[in-house]
Chains A and B, each alone.
Chain A
Amino acid sequence: MSTADLRDTDAEGWVCVTCGTALERRSVDITYMASVFKVELPRCPKCGFTLIPPELALGRMLEAEKILEDK
């Protein structure tokens, strides 16, 4: 399974509000209805908090969700 870059998601400038740690781009597994999608997203190296940008949540992630969902 290759991990591809979600280039429009920049980690720079984001800080985890719980840990006070700068977010880093990390490979993240997003699971929905038993399918796993690997993407690189800004993630807190300490607690694992992950930033999902609105354009992903309301764009490709939503479309994938609709495909997997049932009539």
Chain B
Amino acid sequence: MIKVPTVAELTAEGKIPEILFWVGCAGSFDERAKKITKAFVKILHNAGVSYGVLGAEESCTGDPAKRSGNEFLFQMQAIANIEVLNGYGVKKIVTACPHCFNTLKNEYPELGGSYEVIHHTQLLKDLLDQGKLTIEKGSYKGKKITFHDPCYLGRANNVYEAPRDLIKKLDAELVEMKNCKAKGLCCGAGGAQMFKEPENGSKDINIERTEQALETKPDIIAAGCPFCNTMLTDGVKNKEKEGEIPVLDVAELIATAKDL
């Protein structure tokens, strides 16, 4: 049984966590994404990271509102969140959601919220480099893993290598899709598309992307975003490959390798 500390509890005990884990709405509520959250927290505990979560004090960053065009709602969310974050004196934030990552990192500073914001794959990479996290080699040996670049991690913030380095550390064979890194194809969920039906077209974007992933004949499709995960999982189901090719977050890959 792992006890996840909230920043409120820690503050009451006079402790200041080194890093805030921003769980995000998907990580908090979505059944699939909750598994990613748990896998990540298990690694944090295993590596002895001093962290806390906001719990009920966390609220949507406002990303889907802003991308929908509702600047007012976005800024209401942002200012309220910044008051909470600044109230606790938060300096560093890690999140497993590239949308939260991007918004906190790039759009909050101008509104009074300046923090060091990193994606969870970057933290995991740091922990590995510092020797705080070790990966027993072998469990993915000979497995082909393809990584889908989340737009808000890759193109939006130029983070391409951290998740790839982790996959390589797992001893797995990293295979690239025909569109990868700066040319990565969107999963179809960004810009608030996650919350609406797609416009009329010849195909759904997640199907197109899943086809690109399947072309690499992977054993596992790796993702670094809860929304991409949902879209690709749906895509794999549509291709009747569920059970055959899992869609897993990089944190889940590591947690499984460590048998956490």
A and B associate in one complex: no
